[in-house]
Amino acid sequence: MICLGIETSCDETSIAFVEDGNQIRANLISSQVEIHQLYGGVVPEIASRKHLENLNVLLDEALREAKLSWKQIEIVAATRGPGLVGALLVGVAAAKSIALGLNVPFIGVNHLVGHVYANFLEHPDLKFPFLALIVSGGHTSLVLLKEHLVFETLGTTRDDAAGEAFDKVARIFDLGYPGGPIIDKLAQKGNPRAIEFPRALLGSDSLDFSFSGLKTAVMNWKKNGDLNHYPIEDLSASFQEAVVDVLVEKVRRAILATGVKTVVLAGGVACNTGLRARLNALADDYHVKLHHPSPRLCTDNAAMIACAGTFQYWKGAKDELDADVTPPMAPLERLTCINSQIFASPHLFSSPKLFIIIEVQEVEGLCKEKEPINLSLVLSSLFSSGFIKA
């Protein structure tokens, strides 16, 4: 079974073809990091426009690399959320249009489910039950899976995600974006015991996380001018050690609480060399198996989405073509700016079809307040600008 996977939740456009749930035929990732670096973080509007530019090019390239034709695609899976609404809309609209054109099922995939399922790409024999430590830029959770696609959340972050903490600390010291890989590299040359930062363990049996206190401690430490006495390598190593200590302790508690014999890592922070080394040692001590996807499959990629989508399909899931994206909801009164985009796949259809993506953006103070979404206005402006004809 060939699944086309599409991932556009943040700043990576990715297209993959995965056969039978775990054989990667192609997994192309076009990163926008260089563009967003200029702003110190992801700019949602730029991200969605870049996805739109990249998607068709990557699709053609991936088909060529996988040596597949359109007709061989049997299901289409795309990330529905969480993520940036405009970015998600581009991938989901593309996936639905391809599914419609080919008359195959469309499957919407939760991005975090995708991260966990990246483990099945390299460890198809992964056995249930297992614990998953999900550590990405936006989420930090410990979940238990006793069977396919049934997630029991044991703990989650009360404030910042682990990756967010890395990114924010890197920003405090102007180290660059994304902060995780930069701090990881610096930390390898530093002393992890040079500076004692706080570890929020939240009580003796809590499996929740909190990283905002650590970030504030780093900020205060900078304000006090201590950087003159310590190189940035020591700062990085000490900060990373504080994050890793907490993550490892929570995994240790979860192993004891559940008695599981397998732990998997998921999400971008799972690339962290310090975290991997410490969890490997923990796994040895507690006689559990530890799996972590290779770095390219830890960070955002479409192969993990195609993998999860295939398992969802095997479990009987199929989404309607009116299924919406599922970003976290912004309060309605802050949705003030309307912007339209067009995605067309003329090569897929005998008669041309057009998909219009209406992007509602959270831009404060830029537009008239509480402007309602007026579809006929958007359509008439597309007619008058010559984009579409009657």
Chain contacts with ligand KG4 (rule: CB under 6 A): 10, 136-138, 163, 166-167, 178-181, 184, 267-269, 271-272, 299-300
Work out how close the CB of 301 gets to Zn ion at its nearest, in angstroms, rounded to a whole number. 9
CA 45/CA 367 separation, integer angstroms: 15
Choose one: 85-93, 129-137, 214-222, 318-326; the region binding Zn ion (CB under 5 A): 129-137
Is the torsion defined by CA of 363, 331, 157, 152 positive or negative? negative
CA 382/CA 389 separation, integer angstroms: 9
Residue 164 engages Zn ion in binding (rule: CB under 5 A) = no
Would you tell me how many other CB atoms lie within 10 Å of the CB of residue 156?
15
Task: Please select the residue that binds Zn ion; options are 164, 208, 300, 319, rule is CB under 5 A.
Answer: 300
Is 58 in contact with 19 (CB distance < 8 Å)?
no
Task: Please select the residue that binds Zn ion; options are 54, 97, 136, 312, rule is CB under 5 A.
Answer: 136
Closer Cβ to ligand KG4, 300 or 359, answer by number: 300
Is 105 in contact with 318 (CB distance < 8 Å)?
yes
Closer Cβ to ligand KG4, 166 or 343, answer by number: 166
100-103: Cβ within 8 A, 24+ apart: 100/321, 100/353, 101/345, 101/348, 101/349, 101/353, 102/70, 102/71, 102/73, 102/76, 102/348
Work out how close the CB of 334 gets to ligand KG4 at its nearest, in angstroms, rounded to a whole number. 22
Choose one: 75-83, 131-139, 140-148, 190-198; the region binding Zn ion (CB under 5 A): 131-139
Closer Cβ to Zn ion, 10 or 235, answer by number: 10
Percent helix, strand and coil across the chain, each rounded to 5?
Answer: 45, 20, 35
Which one of Zn ion, ligand KG4, none is in contact with 138 (Cβ closer than 5 to 8 A by kind)? ligand KG4
- Helix, coil or strand: residue 181: helix
Work out how close the CB of 154 gets to ligand KG4 at its nearest, in angstroms, rounded to a whole number. 20
Binding mask 336-375 for Zn ion (x = CB under 5 A): ----------------------------------------
Is 75 in contact with 104 (CB distance < 8 Å)?
yes
CA 310/CA 56 separation, integer angstroms: 22
Which one of ligand KG4, Zn ion, none is in contact with 5 (Cβ closer than 5 to 8 A by kind)? none
Work out how close the CB of 120 gets to ligand KG4 at its nearest, in angstroms, rounded to a whole number. 17
Work out how close the CB of 179 gets to ligand KG4 at its nearest, in angstroms, rounded to a whole number. 5
- Binding residues for Zn ion, rule: CB under 5 A, are 136, 300
